[in-house]
Amino acid sequence: MTTSLVIAPVLVALVTAITCIFVRFDPRVQRACSIIGVVGYSAAVFALLARIWPANTLAYQLGDWPAPYGITLVADPLSGFLLALTAVVAPLTLIYSVRHLNPPGQRVSYHTLFHFLLVGATGAFLTGDIFNLFVWFEVTLMASYGLVAFYSDRDGTLAATRYVVLNLVGSSLMLLAVGGLYGVTGTLNMADMARWLAAASPAEATPVLGLSLLLLAVFALKAGLVPFQWWVPSAYAAAPAPAAAMLAGVAKKVGVYAIIRVGFVVFAAADPTFTLGGLAGDLLAAYGPVLFALAGASILVGGLVALDRPTFEETLAYSSIGQVGFIVLPLAVAAAVPALRTVGVAAALVYTLNHALAKPLLFLVGGIVEDATGTTELDVLGGLAGRSPTLAGVFLVGGLSLVGIPPLAGFFGKLLVFRTAALGDATAALGVAVLGAVLTIAYVSRMWNRAFWGERTDAVASMTDPDPVRLAIVVVLAGCIVAVGVGFGPVYGFAEAAGHVATGPGRDAYVRAVLGGGVA
Amino acid sequence: MTGDPEVVLALALGVLFAAGTFLVLRRDLVRVVFGVLVLSQATNVYLITMGGIGGVAPILGHGGETTDPLVQALVLTAVVIGFATTALLLVLVYRTYQEHGSIDLDDIQGAVR
């Protein structure tokens, strides 16, 4: 039973979600349950991390059915990295939500939806089975549908409908791809599929290429990459600020994680002499140009459109499209250049960590501003820096981290993205990254100039004092960003250990842990 | 295994996917819901064909070539998930109608923008 800890985070979040339904008769009890649950979740994740650290892989066979016949949950550094950032963002966001949302809304559904979102994301990070990944996606999505439709007003209903329709089409496509992969490889277990691909001849593996690109499109939809970004701005603007923080900070990262796990761990296992048309190299090499197109378009579209959005949260939503582009850019380079797999995945993970801390921080600052002034229109705001220096300081930390100023976490994110592109001799990727960096500086300084500097407008002059608890939460998040930047050594060490799973020996260790003894 | 039933299923799948895609692209939100439904059902039919058709029930001792039972378990899961999401989508479409007074996407978009 040494590996049963792997399932603990999922169980804690699931029990909390269900408990929150049954204790809704008393809002105080419900809030207490919810907060205790999320703290327990973080404790479970960090207990698991202590076992994974520095580079172990644990596999837990559900119901003791041996892999590949049963469902396997696998905790390796890649899963651990994403679980860790979830375990930091989730408790802060939840405590913020308790102060932010009106009591009736919390009582009916919010806490349950929040914890089901955690269940889904955690399950997706841990599962070693590709159909099970589909199920966890659906759990995450069901919860996020509820969060997007939370206010259920004019814009909210339309945004939620759009979000649901797009994702239902995405789910159908994913099911098609999963079914096809099962038909071709005869297995759903990711480790077993990697083993099958490693032994398959190029002719046998060819159908997998098309099916895997179908999967990639679905993951890009979940991650909100261009050209699948249509749901992002309306959904983030419609959701309550803390829910938008969770969607941008955690739910989007499920798509990024799936690209790494399925693309770099499973499909990269195919015979390295695989060729198709003009494309040589392994199966993953075909991903290179596709990922680059998605990442480049996201960086440019997100950055350009963010330049003239009228409100705080719309600017942040488009910024989040651009930032996910930055996460995928090193993956594109790494897919095309096999020698850079570890470096590229590590760069993507560090950037993911930066975005998962900075973007929720900015959404939460937006929520505080909206609560205190009654608006997030950049035209109506001005002079916030003089009115609330703490809030301004926190915004600056988050904004500068997006830009990439040392010693913040974002500096290392940008540095590693540029380094991967330079090592891969990818001039086009470097060019897009530089352009994207300039655009980021432009829209962050625009928000800063409009909302925080300048003359105090009427809305700001008559604003109420920001809630100290919520202010403390964003200060803690800002502290995390600084801490990651200052103590970057161990963070990068762990990201590199996670990236190692994208190499031959790392993949072998993963396969051994799942199909062999459960520990590697 | 003979090709005949599989050819029929392949043609049916093509028709279903075409119809689903056509409906999803309509302006009328209810037709979009129908389109999503047809697409997800088409996917389920596709999954069933992945397990092979024409074999006997996979029960020990029945003998002969069996049909793969795993895909049928997958389809059951997918049907349940599809049922829940479709119910939610119908509620959302109804709420959209209540808020906007129309289910024509052009009318709604025109009013919002």
**ipTM attached to this prediction:** 0.92
∠ CA B10-B11-B12, nearest 5°, is 90
CB-nearest partner of A135 from B36, B43, B77: B77
A158 chain-B contacts, CB cut-off 8 A? 96, 99-100, 108, 112
Q: How many CA atoms lie within 13 A of A176 on its CB side?
A: 22
Per-residue model confidence as pLDDT tens digits over B27-41: 999 999 999 999 999
Contact between B71 and A182 using a beta-carbon 8 Å cutoff:
yes
Residue labelled with tokens 């459960």: A518
Task: Give the residue on A whose Cα is nearest the Cα of B83.
Answer: A168
Interface with chain B: mutation pick from A65, A168, A211, highest number of B CBs within 10 Å: A168
Question: What pLDDT sits at residue A418?
Answer: 96
Q: Which residues contact A393 (CB under 8 A, 6 or more apart)?
A: A478
What pLDDT sits at residue A280? 58
Verify whether the Cβ–Cβ distance A172 to B99 is below 8 Å: no
Nearest CA-CA distance, residue A385 and chain B, Å: 32
b/e for A274-307, b at 16 or more Cβ within 10 A? beeeeeebbbbbbbbeebbebbbbbbbbbbbbbe
User: In the prediction, which pLDDT does A278 show?
Assistant: 54
User: What is the distance of C-alpha A428 from the center of its chain?
Assistant: 25
Distance from CA of B97 to the nearest CA of A (A): 9
pTM here?
0.94
What is the per-residue pLDDT for A277?
54
Q: What is the CA radius of gyration of chain A?
A: 22
Q: A194 or B3: whose pLDDT is higher? A: A194
Q: Find out whether A97 and A114 touch, Cβ atoms under 8 Å.
A: yes
Quote the CA–CA distance of A61 and A30 in Å, as a whole number: 33
Kindly indicate the confidence band of residue B61, based on its pLDDT and cuts at 50, 70 and 90: confident
For residue B42, give the chain A residue with the closest CA.
A172
Nearest CA distance, B44 vs chain A (angstrom) = 8
Which of the 8 DSSP states describes residue A26? S
**Residue A308 sits at the chain B interface (C-beta within 8 Å):** no
Where is pLDDT greater, at B3 or A405? A405
> Chain B: nearest CA to A67, how far in angstroms?
15
* Closest CB to A168 among B40, B77, B100: B40
Q: What is the dihedral of CA B75, B77, B79, B80, to 10 degrees?
A: 170
Low-confidence ranges of chain A (pLDDT < 50): 1
For residue A405, give how far its alpha carbon lies from the nearest alpha carbon of chain B (Å). Answer: 37
Q: What is the pLDDT confidence band of residue B113, given thresholds at 50, 70 and 90?
A: very low
Give A461's contacts (C-beta < 8 A, 6+ positions apart). A383, A387
Cβ–Cβ gap A179/B112 under 8 Å: no
Q: Which chain B positions have a beta carbon within 8 Å of A233's beta carbon?
A: none
